[in-house]
Every structure is written in C-alpha cells, then in structure tokens.
Copies of this chain bind each other. A is one copy, B any other.
Amino acid sequence: MSTHLNDGSLTPLYQQLMEEIKVGILNNEYVPGEKILSEMELSELYHVSRITVRRAIEELCTEGYLVKQQGKGTFVNPRKMSRKIEQIGDVMGFSEACRACGMVPGAKVLTVQRCPVRADEKRFFSLDSEENVLYLQRVRTADGEPIMIENSFFPYNAFKSLNPNELNDASLFKYLKNTFGRTPTSTSQTTLEIVRASTELATYLDIITGDPLFYMNAYFLDQNKEPLLIGRQYIVGSRFVFNF
C-alpha cells in the first residue's frame, strides 16, 4: 500500500487516507476483525496529522468499514458476505453463496400460506384471478447471524405439496431440484434498490428500525425457461456485498 498521500491535491488528506484504508479492506489486504494501527502509528506512516487520521477513522466508522471498541482500539468490521448476483446462466443460491464465503448457511421457516394472486404474479405465472400462490417466508442466516428475509412465491397448484418441515436449514434451490425436478437457472428481470427496515423486518433481522436494506425482486426461470418462482428478499445492507 502506498504511504504517500498527495499534499498538493484538492482532495482533503483525510479523504485520501479513507480511500487508502477502504481499498485495503475491499481487497482483503486487511483481515476483518483485525485491529488497525493506532492514530499515532497511522499518522507517522502516512505523514499526516493525528487530526487527519481521527477524521478519516470517524468517517470510516460512519460508513461501516471500521468499528471502535471502547478502550480496545479500532477494528476492521467483520467481513461483509460476498455473493454472486443472479444473472443469466449463473443464478447462485444463498446457501451456495454462503459456503463460498466460508460461512455456514442457515434457514428458519417463518410462514407458509396460500394467498390470493397479485397482478405481477398473475402475469409472470400466467394464472387466473381466482388462482392462488404459495407464499414461503424464511429468515436466512450465515454463521447464525440473520442476513435476509427470503420471500418466495410459487403457483399454488403446482407447489401445494411443498413441505415446510424440509426447508429449515436447507437450500431452497436444492429442495426444488430434488422434489420437483426444477432448478432456478436464470432470471427474467431483477430490480435492486435500497429500502429502510420496517419495525417487523428489523425485529426478524436483529437490526434497528430504519437501517438500510437491499430489496431485491427477482423473477426466476427454471432450466426450461419456464416461470418457477418470484423472490422478494430484504437483505441487511451492512452484511452483504453483491459481486458480479
């Protein structure tokens, strides 16, 4: 890592230092959970004042890259989980993504129910207004920590035999393959945006109301390009990186 910040630059030194540390974290040059150098050490290494170092560290704490522990020092926030985003020919399930990051995936079924069909579900599954969808809601964990609320919607008639007891601590994609012979292999459309956690979601996810979440809405097709399921996931922003 360069230790030469640009003194004549229009970008304030604390911002340059922030970028140095941030890129180090994103490129795994820092180990998550690792204690970073002290203010004095950073100040000597980068030839900047301690005020500059302090400001850079404060901003990186605000952005969630670092975390201060009273009396112990400043640490690199535990690694955000990295996951390959769903794209044509390469749809990665949560369990698989989790294991690829060296973490143990978990799942707990919150609810399974028969629901009236909504406009976009009717269109995607080619259902009639009187038909129903099967709604499966689970909380997904990585190493025991809640990462997302997974909402999955299926055409009711084809999936009414879905057994929720087999979906605790199990891969949904693997279950669909083994039980129904169908594999999500692509998405017809996916939107990704940021929303704030409602009180309900915050409770399930062990975060604070208003904390930012990824909201991903995806229409999954199976290996024969037939509509398979709609996923509406709420993913904890501070615990997830999309990588594509």
Instruction: State whether the Cβ of A126 lies closer than 8 Å to any Cβ in chain B.
Output: no
Instruction: State whether the Cβ of A242 lies closer than 8 Å to any Cβ in chain B.
Output: yes
Instruction: State whether the Cβ of A63 lies closer than 8 Å to any Cβ in chain B.
Output: yes
Cβ 8 A contact of A237, one of B59, B113, B190, B194: B194
Q: Decide: B116 and A191 in contact? CB cutoff 8 A.
A: no
Contact residues on A (Cβ < 8 Å of other chain), bracket: 35 or more
Tell me the nearest residue of chain B to A3, going by C-beta: B116
Interface residues of A (CB under 8 A from B): 1-2, 4-6, 9-12, 15-16, 18-20, 23-24, 26-27, 29, 59, 62-65, 80, 82, 85, 87, 111, 113-120, 129, 135, 137, 189-196, 198-200, 209-210, 212, 214, 217, 237-238, 240-244
Assembly CA distance A130 to B5 (angstroms): 13
Cβ 8 A contact of A27, one of B2, B120, B199, B243: B120
A79 to chain B, nearest CB (A): 12
